[in-house]
Structure 1
Amino acid sequence: MKVVELTQETWPLAEALFSTSKTVEWCFCTWFMQTNAEMKVNDNREVLRARLGSPIGLLAVDGAEAVGWVAVAPRASYSRLARSKITAPISDDISGVWSVTCFYVHRSARRQGVTSLLLDAAVDHAAKAGAKSIEGYPIDTEGRKLQAGELYHGRLAMFLDAGFELVERRGTRRALVSRAL
């Protein structure tokens, strides 16, 4: 399995992967890029496609198919992050801060370490692009049984295992984590 950046060349792989889930196909991983009003009227597939050429995310590819996705980009490219109590910045200075906002792993590839592979690749990708730090907004699954659809932010334990530090808990199940690069 390899991890590749979403580009014009890898776009067909993302389209095929996202079409395997009604929720992901509708959102096309643009939720954090847009307002609610924009989400209702925009073709989310085209919103994401229009950002090709800028950092957007990475695909886990097994053979000729994408089996996983992580959205990773400069925090400033996600307008919704500043408006949520869960994802509000810890500082007014967000220059050099990147964010991991979403994961999606195809049902056939779950429980095989794909999400951890994508998180490690996201950290490397942000570092190579010159990021000073990278954040995540995972869910604490300790003592809870959750559905796969609730895990799109990633698990807190996975982020901590990848060298992220808990900055603070946000709400009863969410956290803000950060890793210096």
Structure 2
Amino acid sequence: MTQISIEPARADRFADAERALTGGGDGADCWCQWWMLAPQEFDATSIDERRDRLRQDLAAPIASALVAYVDGEAAGWVKVSPRPDQPRLARTRNIQKSPEPMDDPSVWAITCFVVRKERRSQGVASTLLDAAVEHARTNGARIVEGYPLDTAVKRFSTNDLYHGTLSSFLAAGFTETARPGAARPIVAKSLA
């Protein structure tokens, strides 16, 4: 039986974060900086600079991401932190349709999933999602939001699925709060 465990992404686990992020998809290029930088800033940074920025992010007192381990080996990643800590969210037109104030630090956002190719379809993403909700709750979130893709409306590449899927969020108890695009819902879960 496969054993999945989740730990906060911290500076002393940088090698594990690196392994989780480099197993397929854009993680090895983005280094979880997409939501942290304005578009021009992101484009102006090198992959090595983004990697260094992630290392700095992992030194924060409250983890902004979680790492999944399958049988003790780093296999997945989820970004979850207060929305104001992910500044590109406030600049993203679709996400501005959220009914919650963009500058409210009690609203946390789950914005990125990465699961290594060899560990997909093993429950890693759903375990990460559940853990992200608990991490947000433990650290004072009032609401946690997600911006998944509705794969029932449109097919997406595996790379695009870093947002998560609507079906996974609904199964985890989220409800749809807005639909700024045909296949682009906003979902939320109250933690109060």
TM-score range, shorter chain: over 0.9
Q: Give distance in 2, aligned partners of 1:8 and 1:113.
A: 26
4+ aligned runs moved over 4 Å, structure 1: none
Q: Which residue of 1 aligns with 2:26?
A: 23
Higher relative contact order (CA 8 A, sep 6+): 2
Q: Which residue of 2 aligns with 1:38?
A: 41
Shift of 1:110: 0.7
Contact 1:4–1:59, Cα closer than 8 Å, also in 2: yes
Q: Which residue of 1 aligns with 2:8?
A: 5
Shift of 1:170: 1.5
Unpaired runs of 5+ residues, structure 2, are none
TM-score of the two chains, using structure 1 as the length reference? 0.94
2:152 to 142, 149, 152: 142
Contact 2:24–2:117, Cα closer than 8 Å, also in 1: no
Shift of 1:22: 6.3
1:79-131 alpha-carbon deviations (Å, 9 max, x no partner)? 00011122124233523010000101111111111111000000000001111
Q: Give distance in 1, aligned partners of 2:52 and 2:169.
A: 30
Q: Give distance in 1, aligned partners of 2:16 and 2:128.
A: 16
Query: Aligned residues: percent identity?
Result: 38
Q: Give distance in 2, aligned partners of 1:23 and 1:139.
A: 17
Equivalent position SS for 2:168: helix
1:152 to 143, 162, 169: 162
The one-letter amino acid of 1:74's match is P
Contact 1:139–1:156, Cα closer than 8 Å, also in 2: yes
Unpaired runs of 5+ residues, structure 1, are none
Q: Which residue of 2 aligns with 1:127?
A: 137
